[in-house]
Chains A and B, each alone.
Chain A
Amino acid sequence: MLKLRRFLSPYKKQLIIGPLCKLFEAVLELFAPLVMAEIINNGILKQNTDYVLKMGAVLVLLGVVGLSSALVCQYMASYTSQGAGTKIRSALFKHIGTLSHRELDELGAPALITRMTSDINAVQANIAMTMRLLLRAPFLIIGALVMACFIDLKISLIFFAAAVIIGVILYLVMTKSLPFYKKIQAALDRISLLSRENLSGNRVIRAFSKQKQQENNFEKQTEQLAKTSVRVGRLSALLNPATYVVAYSAVVLILYFGGKQVNSGVLLSGDIVALTSYMTQILLAMIVLADLVVLLSRGSASASRINDVFETEPSVKELNHTEVTSAENAPKVEFKNVSFSYGEGDRELENISFKIEKNTVVGIIGTTGSGKSTLLSLINRYYDTRSGEVLVDGVNVREYPFAQLRSNIGEVPQKSVLFSGTIRSNMLWQNPDATDDEIWRALEKAHAAEFVKSPDREVSQGGLNFSGGQRQRLCIARALVGAPKLIMLDDSFSALDFATEKAVRKNILDAEDCTVIIVTQRCSTIMNADKILVLEDGRLEGEGTHKELLENCPAYREICLSQLSSEEAGI
């Protein structure tokens, strides 16, 4: 929680005024029993009706002033918590934007989404709660102690003892139960994981008739959760009775020692009334405090989760923020002795070198896990190489600002993702200044215009109102808007039938002044490319045209012959 305090700094004024008002209200509330004692001591015992009425009016006044200062505090609390929540939300959203693929993989999208939503909401609620309620309780306790001191110093010792004992009990129960709450959270996570699995895999589960096994697994988890809840319940059930015993034992002591003081004429019976009511006030405040501490400990777990994200540094950093000028006659893309691995383990790419000249079409083909997509992600600098250099237009990708590098590459990712909005809003992702004409031309090239009909057509979340093949064509169109100089297609025709694929591919290749890289598993897709790179197990097995490779690259030959007949392959 403390680590997020920087987001509270703009609200210093509110953070001071709010609790001060709360303090004021608590003080006023403490005055009420005192006034009541005065009514008894001076009014009733001295038979003074006027005094009773006058003090009665003071009681009402205390209430009104208390209400208004409470309202001020509530407003300050709402303003501060909502404001800080808003600031955290913005900052976290921006921070997530700076993370590179490695961190995104590690943290995982579902976790990040939870941080952005429910965790921030919990922290926000915590701030409000702290300002509104948490401070009130200690104020009341301290105030009641001070008041007790004023009435009788000796008897106030009972108060101190009771307050300390109750505090210790609270602390013990809290610390003992905290590990249980962590366990409960873990069990809940597991339950939601199992539910999700059961839904996403329901076809497989039914196909294997495994419902019973899934249910048994699930029941094990819920049983464990129930057991843990009951165990922690046994502990937290102690809280109320224990504090109650302490508080009322203190009341008995007050009666005994108070009686002595009354007997010796130091105190009046009205004072004893006030003292006992202060004791009940302490009891109530302590109970509120206990409830709140449970809530706050949940919130502080959220805060530390949020903080973890803030402390995650992007592994790929923008080293240069000013645009760079490219070398004139350099190849479009060049790999110089590039090696790469995701973790510490096996090399994903091993010492790869090649050049892709401007305005050429290059195909990349290879087995699963051979590193085709990885290779593309190095061009966009989603990851940094372990060794070697990747150059685009003759400049090392590390020297580019991210925006300059990436917005000049039209990428069609493997997974066809669209965003809710309209066709137009999606098409503007590559180039925010594109005109409707440009958009329409791109849609036509990708054979998407025929089903889109209008750029105002709505797109639902994930683009689910379009079929898989349509989504893929829209993703292709999105990359074409703004006529990028480099287009990278990562298995981007997989959901298209051959006829459509051929037509779309032709349109892309026809573009002027454009380099195209196609990652594919279909030989026929890249047969006519200017150059084909064959990857196997992270190594470059072959480089050349279809004809050359058929002659001198056995791996390529095997792939081709598995898909095409000899005459189709041109042998």
Chain B
Amino acid sequence: MRTVKNLLRYTRRYRLILILSLLCAAVSVGFSLYIPVLVGEAIDYMVGKGAVDFGEIGRVAVIILALIALIAVFQWLMNYCVNVVCARTVRDLRDDVFKKLNTLSLKDIDSNAHGDIISRITNDVEAIGDGLSQVITKLFSGMITIVGTLLFMLAINAYIALIVVVLTPMSVLVAAIIGKMCARSFRGQQQLQGEISSYVEEIVGNQKVVKAFAYEERSAKEFEVYNKKLFKVGLKAQFAGALANPSTRFVNNMVYAVTGIIGALSVLTAFMGQLTIGGLACFLTYANQYTKPFNEVTGVLTQIQTALAAGDRVFDTLHAESEPDESGKRRYDKAEGGLEFRDVCFSYTPDKELIKNFSLKVKSGEQVAIVGPTGCGKTTLINLIMRFYEVDSGEILLDGIPAKDINRDVLRQNFGMVLQDSWLFSGTIMDNLRYGNPAASDEEIIAAAKMSYAHSFIRKMPDGYNTKLSENADNLSAGQKQLLCIARAMVLDPPVLILDEATSSIDTLTEIRVQKAFKKLMKGRTSFIVAHRLSTIKESDIILVMNDGNIVEQGTHKELLSRKGYYYNLYNSQFADS
């Protein structure tokens, strides 16, 4: 119900079009219901051989033709309006969900499967659109049809009309019973579909690994097991679902038969009120038309339910809590780059403490290296500096101003970041490099690319800087992607640099060049380097050694070596005899 209310809010913007379409539906359905009366009337003017009143038939025919024209126009108008409302509502919903994503906290985005969110934007919204158009066209015109035919039937013969009214809902009842019967097999099918999908995703998605282990035949066998199960369950579900249509049609045929017999008797014997033959003809047409919406409604009911379920999911996302608006918060152009951590505490989950009372002062222009084994919390620190996650207690200050008092976007613009998994978007290389600084000229970008040693491989690409990158930039190697990310950061020219394992998949030779370029770039900039290779950080002003989320040691390379602690062991282990 909440979903319906929410959806109504979206359609409300188009309420004029919506009302217009409903009016059109009412007019066209109303008129089209009147046509059988006219046809019956015309037939009544054909009494028998030599007793056909062509004058009257002609008069009726003209009326029919006029009505047809009107009906056609209104029908078209209705269809068109419905289309407009649905297309626009779908667009609005998509835009809003997309915008919403950008306001959600990283915590929410990290903890949801991306495929699931994408399917909300695409499939679920599509289902809502389909459901909406079904509701407006089928459900509404169905209701008008039911009321209209009922009135007409009552006008022709109240008794027989009542019989039709009582009998027809039987088809709905039958549909409901069948629906209940197949609910379980549908659920079973859904579940197996899910299982098969995730198996396929795993195996087909990692087909190269499958080949490495010559696992093809074994996986085909495993797949066969799922597939056979799906056949059994799917057959049951499909057949159960296919029962509804013939069954309701059967009920309708019975209604037709009963109406026909009683109608004929009433013509003959004035049983239950007198009928004419023409009256019987149009009564039968009405009986047929009266039952049709019931059929159609049962038919679209599943679609409407799907749409509602989809609506629940979409509105869950839309109503998720956004990060608070910070448009009123402090903004300034460029920071000096001094950073301070004051008694910072943080954990992802309340039961597992990660960073505890961490304090550190970094002067503008200093180089900080963070080291430690994988999963020790290095990325966490970056998450906090960038305010992707908020600290639990304590504070982080930029140039002496608490980070939480600075507008989030302004804060982040002061950091140039190269992340562990280099992200590029589909577009040309030039577009990607210009991402952080739209004002940069082509020359500036090429200069940055040269500095980060990306220029030579970009030039070798088919269209140079205008080469389009595919999704995930599959046409580049991991190292090349990272070089592009480094070049992108260079174009941005930020006061603070954050390099998260930035050079891990670039070979050392290239890395030396990058390091040289970085040295130039880092002059006058504060930089944080999360790195694996100790060689890259020997010259840092401060080295933070992390383990299990805690900062175990901090100091310069020499200090830490002379302390003979954790860092000393870590450093020496790489040179011991292998």
Contacts and interface: CB of A to CB of B under 8 A. Distances in A.
A290 to B, nearest CB: 12
B506 A83 contact: no
Contacts of A263: 46, 49-52, 54
A74 B49 contact: no
B45 interface: yes
A368 B483 CA distance: 10
Nearest to A430: B213
Interface stretch (A104-112, A138-146, A385-393): A104-112
B238 A82 contact: yes
Interface stretch (B35-43, B396-404, B440-448): B35-43
A23 B267 CA distance: 33
B260 A419 contact: no
Interface stretch (B2-10, B148-156, B199-207): B199-207
Given A203-B386, A559-B509, A380 B212 contact: yes
Interface stretch (A225-233, A319-327, A349-357): A225-233
A44 B474 CA distance: 78
A382 B234 contact: no
B227 to A, nearest CB: 5
Contacts of A67: 246-247, 249-250, 253
Contacts of A60: 254, 257
A521 B83 CA distance: 59
B436 interface: yes
A307 interface: no
Interface in B54-102: 54, 57-58, 60-61, 64-65, 68-69, 71-73, 75-76, 79-80, 82-84, 86-88, 90-91, 94-95, 98-99, 101-102
A558 B80 contact: no
Contacts of B203: 93, 419
A562 B43 contact: no
Contacts of A82: 231, 234-235, 238
B68 A502 contact: no
B457 interface: yes
Contacts of A360: none
Contact of B57 (A121, A233, A255): A255
A96 B121 contact: no
A402 B60 CA distance: 80
B64 A52 contact: no
B236 to A, nearest CB: 9
Contacts of B231: 82-83, 86
A502 B87 contact: no
Contact of A44 (B32, B216, B268, B436): B268
Interface in A377-411: 380, 382, 402-403, 406-407, 409, 411
B198 A494 contact: no
Contact of A226 (B87, B408, B462, B508): B87
A203 B87 contact: no
Contacts of B114: 196, 199-200
A49 B268 contact: yes
B121 to A, nearest CB: 5
A514 interface: no
B176 interface: no
A496 interface: yes
Main secondary structure of the interface of A (DSSP, over half): helix
A167 interface: no
A64 B425 CA distance: 62
Contacts of B39: 251, 255, 276
B254 A63 contact: yes
A433 to B, nearest CB: 12
B83 A230 contact: yes
B215 A108 contact: no
Nearest to B112: A199
B342 interface: no
Contacts of A121: 193
A208 interface: yes
Contact of B118 (A196, A244, A251): A196
B507 A273 contact: no
Nearest to A526: B578
A52 B227 contact: no
Contacts of B480: 368-369
A553 interface: no
Given A105-B474, A429-B215, A211 B102 contact: yes
A94 interface: yes
Interface stretch (A185-193, A298-306, A330-338, A434-442): A185-193
A132 B574 CA distance: 70
B202 A208 contact: no
A39 B578 contact: no
Contact of B50 (A226, A265, A432, A494): A265
Given A109-B207, A201-B425, A208-B435, A432 B218 contact: yes
B253 A63 contact: yes
A568 interface: yes
A130 interface: no
A384 B228 CA distance: 36
A70 B570 CA distance: 76
A524 B76 contact: no
B373 A117 contact: no
Nearest to B98: A218
Contacts of A500: 373
A499 to B, nearest CB: 4
Interface stretch (B305-313, B343-351, B354-362, B409-417): B409-417
Q: How large is the interface on A (under 10, 10 to 19, 20 to 34, 35 or more residues)?
A: 35 or more
B211 A406 contact: yes
Contact of A62 (B43, B46, B243, B253): B253
Given A499-B573, A506-B578, A97 B268 contact: no
A307 B320 CA distance: 42
B204 to A, nearest CB: 5
Interface string A545-561: 00000000001001100
A254 B268 CA distance: 26
Contact of B267 (A44, A83, A527): A44
B320 to A, nearest CB: 14
Interface stretch (B159-167, B280-288, B518-526): B280-288
A71 interface: yes
Contacts of B65: 249, 252
B138 to A, nearest CB: 11
Contact of A78 (B87, B242, B533): B242
Given A201-B425, A265-B50, A369 B122 contact: no
User: Could you say which of A56, A77, A83 has the most chain B C-beta atoms within 10 Å of its C-beta?
Assistant: A56
A386 B321 CA distance: 56
B121 A191 contact: yes
Given A94-B220, A195-B117, A109 B281 contact: no
Contacts of B94: 191, 218, 222
A273 B98 contact: no
Contact of A97 (B220, B250, B265): B220
A90 to B, nearest CB: 6
Nearest to A275: B43
A222 B95 contact: yes
Interface in A115-145: 116-117, 121, 128, 132
Contact of A197 (B48, B426, B510): B426
Contacts of A174: none
A469 B219 CA distance: 26
A462 B201 CA distance: 10
B340 interface: no
Nearest to A493: B532
B69 A245 contact: yes
A413 interface: yes
15 contacts: A44-B280, A49-B265, A52-B268, A62-B253, A67-B247, A74-B242, A74-B246, A200-B114, A201-B424, A208-B413, A367-B509, A429-B215, A461-B198, A467-B374, A496-B373
Given A39-B260, A66-B253, A461-B202, 4 more contacts: A67-B253, A222-B91, A272-B46, A498-B571
- 9 pairs of A and B residues whose beta carbons are closest in the complex: A233-B83, A368-B479, A237-B79, A265-B49, A56-B261, A70-B246, A241-B72, A59-B257, A97-B216
